[in-house]
Every structure is written in structure tokens, then in C-alpha cells.
Homo-oligomer: A and B are copies of this chain.
Amino acid sequence: MDLEKLFKPKSIAVVGISKKNPLSPGRIILLKNVFEMDVKVFGIYPGGGEIEGIRLYNRLDELPEIPDLLVIALEPNATLEYVQDCAELGIPSSVIIGGGFAEIGGKGKKRQEKLQKIAFENDIALLGPNCLGVYAPPRVDTIFLPTERITRPKKGSVALISQSGGVLVDMFFEKFHERNIGVSTAVSIGNRAVVDEVMLLEYFSQVDQETSNIAFYLEGFKEGKSRDFLQLAKESEDTVIVYYGGKTREGKVATQSHTASLAGNYNIIYNALRQHLIIQPHSETELLTSLKVYDVLSQRRNPFGNNVVTYGNVAIISVSGGHAVLASDMLKKYGLNAVRFSPQEKRHLKSLVNPTAKEIASFNNPIDLTGSVLDTDIEDVIRYLSDVERIECIIVLLLPYPPNISFQIGRRIANIVTSKNKPVVCFIPYVSKYSLIIESLELANIPVFHSIKETVQAVSALKHRTRINNLKKGNLSWE
């Protein structure tokens, strides 16, 4: 089944527009595609007329061309009729917004079977029902939530596939924006009557050129599809990540009323995914941290060159002793080790630092440059550590509170990282007045995080990805 028309349509039609209710899903979808997206849009309204200056067509067969995609925002029986029209007119893809299908059981299940029959017999790439559909910038956006209510993430390398529309727009869109992570295409799969996780994994890993990382929120696998999914994931050159909802008995009860998924035994699922080299974050934070790191690594200007984090050997630079302690406390849990400095290295480090800080700073690992730090101290220490080969990654805990840290510090660090290619991950507090520092690092694709834990998690994610890449290439076997 060809998904290209679903995600990169040249023209779309929308049906289910209310003339009375400006908040009706069909009307919101029509207007956001006309005003905000880069696609030819036709509105369908029995009786015709116009809305907000946009001409409405009476019927699908009156359109001047066959659209690539039909978005249907109607009650279930009318939905079925329009899907039948797609078959007759040769419309190759459709997004079904409305519910009233398998998720309500009984007659809803029968309706969904009809939907599947028409779609599979006529090769229609049908997404949904009971979903938000597709956000595929710059072309199409079928999310019926008003754009001003949600947050659109920037364009990037991550394809998002979610069994929950709420999770898609909140946990992904909103938090991606907050963390500056980029999305290639986002898909809300709803009941996945036709287009399912296997087809999407195949499309994004084998067809779509914009995607290098594929992240799923799933509440269970579609029946009979898990084996294909696992095999595809293992063979994929992209990073495949699954965040799973319904891990516990309590969560499973909730999925049954949500998407009628049979969540299965999570332990079995966890092990199967792990053996197929699928990354499974343990928390929302870890999910977002990993995706941020992987998105950065997929950029054209990868700041770390071919340097990778294999064993998790790190050096920590801090300007706050407490932050250094708390970061050190987390290393082991995340599979990382603090490199030991030789007495000679410590002496050298000390010689790099300004006279006031020198007396009170600590040159073990973690290095604490204290509140008496200058920009040049941080610069010189990072430059020196970048040349120490056994250090694979430098963690910089950069609080810009000490009076002598300037607004140039981000650019200064970026210059060194760009020339040395040693992986560097930064912690900077999430405060708008420091966005100049944060931006100067992120423009150079150096990932910045806003808690100690996320910073440590990010280095762990770098190590994890090296490991998975090696396992996929057969350079490494399971221990």
C-alpha cells in the first residue's frame, strides 16, 4: 500500500464542514489547510455555497481533479459512504477523523470491517478511524484542534506515530517544541483499521528520506502484526523507539476503553522489543531526551563528527559543587563512568584556571570550577579534555549565575566542539534570559538540557545508540 499520497498529497478534499459551528472538526481542518499549509484544498458540502470565502463543492465528483487525499470528519455511516466514493473515484488515500467504529464494540466493529473491506479491495491508504490523522509539514495538517491551541514543533528528523492523539499533540508536539526537537511527519493512527504500525515503520524507514528516527507511542500491537514489526525494526537503519502505554494491570484496563487494544504481557513485549534492538525509554523524560540527542545526531552538521560514545567514559565540568555531586550520583545507574585523571593531568588542568578559582576549584572528575570561574577557564578546560582520548564525552553543567560568565560562553564552547568533534552535552537552566547562551549552542547542534538527570540520560542515550548501531551492523554481539 502506497502511503506517499497520504503524507505528501498535492491536493486534498475535506468533508464534514459545518456552516453554523466554527469549531466543527471538518471546518477547522479545511481552514487550517487553506490558510496555513502548502496544498491545494477542496471543501465538500452537500448544497455547495461558500465559507470564509472558500468555495464549497456539492459532491466529490464535481471537483476539478481527483484529490490525493480525502479527509472525512463525519458520523460513521456517512463516513462509510464517502469511503465508497473514494473507491469509485480512485481517490488513493483517506483520513477518517470520527469515532463510532471498533472502539465502541458491537455494531461499530461491523462498520470497521466494512471500512477495511473497501480500503483493502481498492488499495486505499486509509488512516483511522477515530484519530487526528496527519501532520506532514509543509503540506498537510488534518489535526482538528485549532492551531493556536497547540504547539507545532519544528521540522526535523523524527517521525512520530501515536495511538493517542492527545499524546501526539501534548507529549510530542508541545514537549518537542520546548526542547527544540524536530519532526518529519506525525501520525495519529487511531483504530488503525488499515494503515498500521507495520506499514508506517516500512514507509518511514524505507521510503521517506526526511526521517532518521521513528518514535511510536503504542498501547499494544495490532493482532498478528508484531512479528513483522520486530523484523522491520531490526533491519532498519533508522533508530526505532517504542514508548509503551498499558504496561501495568491498571494501565491495561484504561487502554481497553481507549483504543480497544489488547496490551498483552508487558514483560514478554519488553524482551521481544529489546532483542530486536528497539529503544524503549523508561519515562517520558528519557523518551524526549533520547529523541533530542538522536535528532541532533541526524542533522547535516553533526557536531561530533564520527566520534561516538561506546563505553560511557565521561568527564564532568561544573561551576557548582552540588551539581557535580548530583551528576556523579547518577552515572552508574545510566551505565556511565567518570574517567580518572592522573596527577599530571590534574596539575595541567589547574594551570589553566584563573588565580582566584585555582585556589578553591577541584580538579578531580567532576571538575568544579566554582563561582569564581571565567569564560576562558571553561574554554581552556574543554579544549584540554577534548584531546584526552579516553574521555568519550564531556558533560558541562553550566550555571550562568556566577558574575563573570559572559553571554559569549555558548559561542565559545560551540567553537571548540566544532573544531574538536568531541561529544559535549550541556546543562543550562531553563530560564528565558539565558536563551542567548542556549541558542548559540543549539545552533551548532550541541544538545542542551535543563536538568542534571536529562543531561546524564542524554549521554547514556548516545552510548545506547552506538551500541545498537554496532549490534545492527554485527560488530557486536549480545553479552
In the complex, residue of chain B having the shortest beta-carbon distance to the beta carbon of A359 = B100
9 other A-B residue contacts (CB within 8 Å) besides A166-B322, A257-B364, A258-B324? A166-B318, A170-B323, A170-B429, A245-B329, A246-B329, A251-B328, A258-B362, A284-B326, A285-B451
Does A399 belong to the interface (CB within 8 Å)?
yes
- Select one of B166, B250, B320, B323 contacting A323, CB under 8 A: B166
Does A165 belong to the interface (CB within 8 Å)?
yes
Residues of chain B within 8 A of A163, CB atoms compared: 322
Residues of chain B within 8 A of A452, CB atoms compared: 284
Does A325 belong to the interface (CB within 8 Å)?
yes
5 tightest A-B CB contacts, nearest first? A166-B320, A164-B322, A258-B321, A251-B329, A257-B362
Does A453 belong to the interface (CB within 8 Å)?
yes
Does A423 belong to the interface (CB within 8 Å)?
no
Nearest CB of chain B from residue A46's CB, rounded to whole Å:
20
Binary flags per residue of A245-274, CB closer than 8 Å to B gives 1, else 0? 111111101110111000000000000000
- Contact of A258 with B99 in the complex, beta carbons under 8 Å: no
Query: CA A169 – CA B321 in complex, angstroms?
Result: 12
Binary flags per residue of A133-159, CB closer than 8 Å to B gives 1, else 0? 000000000001110111100000000
Does A41 belong to the interface (CB within 8 Å)?
no
- Contact of B167 with A326 in the complex, beta carbons under 8 Å: yes
A-B contact pairs, 20 of them (CB 8 A): A100-B360, A104-B359, A145-B401, A164-B323, A167-B326, A169-B399, A170-B399, A171-B322, A174-B429, A174-B431, A245-B326, A248-B332, A251-B326, A251-B328, A253-B328, A253-B338, A254-B366, A257-B368, A259-B321, A284-B453
Instruction: Report A's interface with B, CB cutoff 8 A.
Output: 23, 28, 99-100, 103-104, 130, 144-146, 148-151, 162-167, 169-171, 174, 178, 217, 219, 245-251, 253-255, 257-259, 283-285, 318-326, 328-329, 331-332, 338, 359-360, 362, 364, 366, 368, 370-371, 399-404, 429-431, 433, 451-453
- Contact of B99 with A360 in the complex, beta carbons under 8 Å: yes
Residues of chain B within 8 A of A146, CB atoms compared: 403
Known contacts being A255-B325, A452-B284, is A28 close to B164, with CB within 8 Å? no
In the complex, residue of chain B having the shortest beta-carbon distance to the beta carbon of A263 = B325
- Contact of A145 with B254 in the complex, beta carbons under 8 Å: no
Residues of chain B within 8 A of A332, CB atoms compared: 248-250
Residues of chain B within 8 A of A145, CB atoms compared: 371, 401-403
Nearest CB of chain B from residue A241's CB, rounded to whole Å:
16
Query: CA A276 – CA B326 in complex, angstroms?
Result: 24
Known contacts being A248-B328, A359-B100, is A451 close to B258, with CB within 8 Å? no
Nearest CB of chain B from residue A337's CB, rounded to whole Å:
8
- Select one of B248, B257, B319 contacting A321, CB under 8 A: B257
- Contact of A258 with B165 in the complex, beta carbons under 8 Å: no
In the complex, residue of chain B having the shortest beta-carbon distance to the beta carbon of A250 = B328
Nearest CB of chain B from residue A155's CB, rounded to whole Å:
20
Query: CA A253 – CA B370 in complex, angstroms?
Result: 17
